[in-house]
Amino acid sequence: MRLLRTVLAATAATLFSVAGAAVPAAPAAAADPQPGPKKLFTIRDPRVDESSGLARSQQYEGIWWTVNDSGDTARVFGIDDTGKVRAVLNFKAPVKDVEAIAVDRDGIIYIADIGDNKANRDMVEVYTIPEPDRLADKSNVKFHRYDFVYPDGAHDAETLLIAPRSKRLFFVTKAAKDQAGIYAAPEVASREGTNELTKVADAPGGVTDGTFLPDGDQVVLRSYVDVATMEWGEEPNVIARTPTPIAQGESVALGLSGKTVLVGSEGRNSSVFELAIPARKPAAAPATPKATPAPAAADSGEVKKNHNLRWIIVGAAVFAVIVTFLTIPPGRRERLDRMAENARLTGQQPPDPHGRRRSTA
């Protein structure tokens, strides 16, 4: 009996270990949430009192270009990642309301004089200057001017986008929801005459700045209260949003890693924060996925799973046989043996193995 108990325990242990090997591994833990916004620097230079745009330099690592809102002269400030102004580029242009700045892959800075709060401008302008050969103050920088006109009347705008590969310009108007739009410049803008814009899509309301991501497939748009990621294409659409820690948000630019953006606000001593680019949340897995037939040539993982299942079935059968053997009534010979042993111990005659009654005479 002791031997049978040992065999029974070993069989049960084997069954449990094999069954455990056949159980699929638990799903991996969910990815850690994206880190929250962190303050990167504060612009304390009194000359930058209405920062209204931000663009990462192509030529200088850790440098961003910014411009002041309406009321300032035509100049651009180069700011490092501590908030210090490292260069001021002055160009002699009759700017009215500069609201955005961008830099293309060739290191050309675009200064967008596109603000129009009263919607009464006949046309808007974009000025271009090259990034300097040396990061230092520079006066009388040579510039080019491009004039643009909307096809459906004047609009106030604060966002200039430059497609990374084609360098085509796009303007996003700042208006209420369902009224804002994205307008495209000609594929090659001309400095001769006026370039007519074309509306290509609707836009979220209240956009104050924006930038293409390096792959050109997505755009990040800034509003006063949040940052939105938009998939670019024939029908651009917002796929993710995240709030920002500062009010009166006026600027957004790529971070150094390419996976973050910098967001800023206007006013003196304005802070600049870094945060992760909003990303679409992955779709949730179905609660009860439908079973699919196994392929004709199963992979090694599937073969191993089926092999384990066969061992479970075989082990269960052995287990059942052992239990049955232990629990069925003892056989006739075993009963006679016990009776004979009892008779020997009590001094009685042992029972007849054929079942006949023994004579007492």
CATH code for the domain of 220: 2.120.10.30
- What pLDDT is stored for residue 73 in this prediction? 96
Are residue 46 and residue 19 in the same domain, yes or no? no
pLDDT tens-digit profile of 177-220? 778 999 999 999 999 999 999 999 999 999 999 999 999 999 99
Are residue 319 and residue 242 in the same domain, yes or no? no
| Cα 167 to Cα 188: distance, rounded to the nearest angstrom | 9
Asked if residue 282 belongs to a domain, the reply is no
Asked if residue 354 belongs to a domain, the reply is no
- What pLDDT is stored for residue 150 in this prediction? 98
Are residue 13 and residue 81 in the same domain, yes or no? no
Asked if residue 50 belongs to a domain, the reply is yes
Asked if residue 356 belongs to a domain, the reply is no
Domain's final residue, options 276, 309, 334? 276
pLDDT tens-digit profile of 122-167? 999 999 999 999 999 999 999 999 999 999 999 999 999 999 999 9
Are residue 84 and residue 170 in the same domain, yes or no? yes
Are residue 334 and residue 243 in the same domain, yes or no? no
Q: Which residue range(s) make up the domain with 11?
A: 2-24+300-346
Asked if residue 188 belongs to a domain, the reply is yes
Are residue 110 and residue 248 in the same domain, yes or no? yes
Are residue 17 and residue 123 in the same domain, yes or no? no
- What pLDDT is stored for residue 6 in this prediction? 43
Are residue 18 and residue 164 in the same domain, yes or no? no
- What pLDDT is stored for residue 289 in this prediction? 59
pTM: 0.71
Are residue 180 and residue 319 in the same domain, yes or no? no
Q: What is the pLDDT along the chain (361 residues), one digit of tens a residue?
A: 444 444 344 444 443 344 333 434 444 444 455 667 899 999 999 999 999 999 999 999 999 999 999 889 999 999 999 999 999 999 999 999 999 999 999 999 999 999 999 999 999 999 999 999 999 999 999 999 999 999 999 999 999 999 999 999 999 999 877 789 999 999 999 999 999 999 999 999 999 999 999 999 999 999 998 999 999 988 999 999 999 888 778 999 999 888 899 999 989 999 999 999 999 887 666 665 555 555 544 444 444 444 555 555 545 554 444 444 444 444 444 555 555 555 555 455 555 555 554 444 4
Are residue 244 and residue 332 in the same domain, yes or no? no
Asked if residue 287 belongs to a domain, the reply is no
Are residue 220 and residue 75 in the same domain, yes or no? yes
| Cα 121 to Cα 10: distance, rounded to the nearest angstrom | 90
Residue for token pair 């007492």: 360
- What pLDDT is stored for residue 308 in this prediction? 55
* Strands ordered across the beta sheet of 181-184: 157-162, 169-173, 181-184, 198-202
